[in-house]
Structure 1
């Protein structure tokens, strides 16, 4: 009978974990799963508990993030294993204080260690903040406003502290007077968090004028493939160049024609999705001349996201976002800051430009490209921008996940935001993260998203204090451990 109960418990736990993060995420699942997993680990011996957490977290992560069809299974397993090691460490740390859980202070050990270890993991992770617990709450608009103060780690703290408090209540259930105080403290913190969220949404919402922005993705039937081997073969290079120019001319001309159409419809800013324009390196300047002329003629800001192909370089891809103002002047020449490890990084020739900001009559505008948005520290360079434009390119399996992740940068830095994503989900939001516009590449035939974006961004405490909350958790962990050990010495 005991074995049956254990099997049922583990099965339910795994089910909740499968819905806790990644492609199947449901916001409440992580709260329940963390409570259950902490309970289960505490019933086992220290290293048994750590191994159990490692295996069950690794399994759920592998399934939840099985969204990269071109990644070898061995690589996916390796990534899941590394994640699981870090994710299991807070449970291991908690196990060292099994005899000191009477005090409510002990409930801070698990969440504080979880926040710090998660932060370290994502600083080391080549894929940025993929898998962060905060992303599981993307549907909870009020709760997420707290990120504008403390960053992603605060959401992790609330989730893991909830698990710790629930287990503490269960263990101290015979001491109801102490339990009431502990429950009141967590409820107070969580309540204040929600009150702040409601206040920010209601009283810090955008009240500036808006402008019409048209963001455009290339049509699928005009996609251009580049024959690098053919370009580098002296016997075929001329023929391949002729064919490549024919295809890129057709693609780029279509993008320009659609941009003109949107300008005539009233768009003040027009920009394209990541790498949707393709051009050979030797033809790059001609493309810019055309873009400059159209921007001036149509009296718009025109941002072209272009894949420049330099076949003479082993790293032949230059992934750029180039913006021209109403006078046709090039005012932004941004190169993608962080290339995706694996398929993209080995072929990318990156020039470090940093995030660039331009002053316009529509506020301060900045630009980034896709994967850059997965790195909060990198996006701190966009501090002070009113509008962030982000040409992007995904694939179907990560469409909603990746776009929802990007929206968290809005909460951190306070800019209004448009992410135009080919082969994914495009979105426009205000500086509180409220969705203004949305487009699914696979269901929309026009491949154009119109956003009435506010021209004035918001201010956030996080933009000023950065990751101070992580430092607070380090100090909290140290202080709690010292106090708990001191109390034990005094009792002895």
Structure 2
């Protein structure tokens, strides 16, 4: 009877964990509390199940969460996105595999630390080495509304939040498996104390070291005119193209084949750039792919941008898509033009979206330039989902983006974590999505829903950033967690050799939890 009851409870833990996991994927319908709950129950299920069957089911839950994110965000379902979902499922299941197979053979400290360190490792692998970045699987994405907690990212990177969530799961499960005692109270109390230090410390950082707003600069964000893009599509014989999906989703075309319509889009961008300057903007940012131009037409575009920047005495970030016959040779890029008309940088998108953007990647380094308004830097859209490339010694990070209705707001809010990590203000000008500006604490300065509002967007942004520990040490915390995970797993592996004859077999630190039969 006991085994039957045990078995029923075990399946309940799986169901609760699986449902909670669907609402903790960095999507539109996230529930912050769900991110803390699902690892508790999935870990409980994995620990009380036979290794192969239990871990396969945990992997299926992780895979289902990734596919649920793809579905709710209306990401085009291609072979690449299905492969991405499978990859996410495998990587996000790794902490459970490590815990189930290794943790029972560790002492208390190792048992409590292995899972949260492995959570950091899985997030770090996705965010640094996989082509999909942290757009899925980063638990910090679910907690951005809690700015006091999120300040820990300024030290550990956003991976520190994953460590705290994973630590909660192991501490709860440890207390679950042990009778109440002073030892249990010390374990739980120790974790609560660490979490309190992080949250109280984050609140203190925001209160005692406020963002310096003594000097701000007015930045204007501009999108290409949606009506004029419809005219382009009509002239191409494609009036059925759903323009609100974003310029990034438009079919590839040679803009010179519809020269009058293409010229109208660019003329409108320059006219509104001039209006923005006369409204007080000192920096004007175009959204991603705002101007579609042929390779032959690029010099004329830049010449006009230089003239306007010089005449209006502004910094102008031109975002264009250069069409070439080979998709691989086409470019998604930006050019920063200074008030003297000089081209200060040309930057090519370093992380084209896998399966959707066939462009050749750029160099992977965010450019930085000193200006009277602080150090300016820039990446393009999806680049901001890769924390390692966002280590820029900047005061203001400019991020032209191009999204679609389902993903726009969530994708822009994810970028706010980069502002906290690196101590700069971040301005993301998003076509058909959600334009947003953050200060270096992650506070939202201004937003614009570009699905319904295509007018000029103006925001006053602090010009002085701060140098955070994370900006200096980078992903040292993640590398430490990787090293710690390897050491703990290695210690168990080397202990597996049979003892010499006559040597008693060492006892394990804790017996595996009972398996329901």
TM superposition score normalised by structure 2: 0.85
CA shift for structure 1 position 359: 1.1
Distance 1:221 1:13 in 2: 46
Conserved 8 A contact 1:22-1:61: no
Match of 1:339 among 341, 349, 352: 352
Conserved 8 A contact 1:211-1:452: yes
CA shift for structure 1 position 68: 5.9
CA shift for structure 1 position 425: 0.9
Q: What per-residue deviation string (whole Å, max 9, x for no partner) do you get for residues 260-279 of structure 1?
A: 11111111111210111122
**Which residues in structure 2 correspond to 1:427-438 (within 5 Å)?**
427-438=436-447
**Which residues in structure 2 correspond to 1:104-123 (within 5 Å)?**
104-123=109-128
Distance 2:445 2:125 in 1: 34
**Secondary structure of 1:191 counterpart:** helix
Conserved 8 A contact 1:437-1:449: no
Distance 1:122 1:193 in 2: 23
**Secondary structure of 1:428 counterpart:** strand
Conserved 8 A contact 2:106-2:508: no
Q: Which has the higher contact order (CA 8 A, sep 6+)?
A: 2
Conserved 8 A contact 1:411-1:432: yes
Q: What per-residue deviation string (whole Å, max 9, x for no partner) do you get for residues 154-174 of structure 1?
A: 111100110000000111124
Conserved 8 A contact 2:81-2:355: no
CA shift for structure 1 position 352: 3.4
Match of 1:135 among 137, 141, 145: 141
**Corresponding position of 2:190:** 185
Between the two proteins, the alignment pairs up a number of residues equal to 475
Distance 1:317 1:149 in 2: 38
CA shift for structure 1 position 4: 6.1
**Secondary structure of 1:61 counterpart:** helix
**Structure 1 residues 481 and 356 mapped into 2: Cα distance closer, same or farther (>3 Å)?**
closer
**Secondary structure of 1:198 counterpart:** helix
Distance 1:182 1:481 in 2: 22
**Corresponding position of 2:248:** none
**Corresponding position of 1:389:** 398
Match of 2:44 among 21, 39, 46: 39
**Corresponding position of 2:15:** 11
Does 1:459 pair with 2:460?
no
Conserved 8 A contact 1:108-1:480: no
Distance 1:71 1:259 in 2: 33
**Corresponding position of 1:291:** 305
CA shift for structure 1 position 256: 0.9
Q: What per-residue deviation string (whole Å, max 9, x for no partner) do you get for residues 86-131 of structure 1?
A: 2222212112246457735421121122222332243332111121
**Corresponding position of 2:283:** 269
CA shift for structure 1 position 398: 1.2
Q: What per-residue deviation string (whole Å, max 9, x for no partner) do you get for residues 132-164 of structure 1?
A: 222121211110100110112211110011000
Does 1:219 pair with 2:225?
yes
**Corresponding position of 2:453:** 444
Does 1:171 pair with 2:177?
yes
**Corresponding position of 2:383:** 372
TM superposition score normalised by structure 1: 0.89
**Structure 1 residues 101 and 467 mapped into 2: Cα distance closer, same or farther (>3 Å)?**
same
Distance 2:272 2:505 in 1: 72
CA shift for structure 1 position 14: 2.3
CA shift for structure 1 position 65: 2.7
**Corresponding position of 2:247:** none
Structure 1 gap ranges (5+):
229-239
Distance 1:326 1:115 in 2: 44
Structure 2 gap ranges (5+):
238-253, 497-503, 510-517
CA shift for structure 1 position 246: 0.6
CA shift for structure 1 position 482: 7.8
**Structure 1 residues 354 and 472 mapped into 2: Cα distance closer, same or farther (>3 Å)?**
closer
CA shift for structure 1 position 489: 3.1
RMSD of aligned alpha carbons: 2.7
Distance 1:264 1:98 in 2: 63
**Structure 1 residues 289 and 116 mapped into 2: Cα distance closer, same or farther (>3 Å)?**
same
Conserved 8 A contact 1:387-1:415: yes
Conserved 8 A contact 1:106-1:480: no
Conserved 8 A contact 1:263-1:300: yes
**Corresponding position of 2:433:** 424
Distance 1:476 1:242 in 2: 57
**Secondary structure of 1:38 counterpart:** helix
CA shift for structure 1 position 251: 0.5
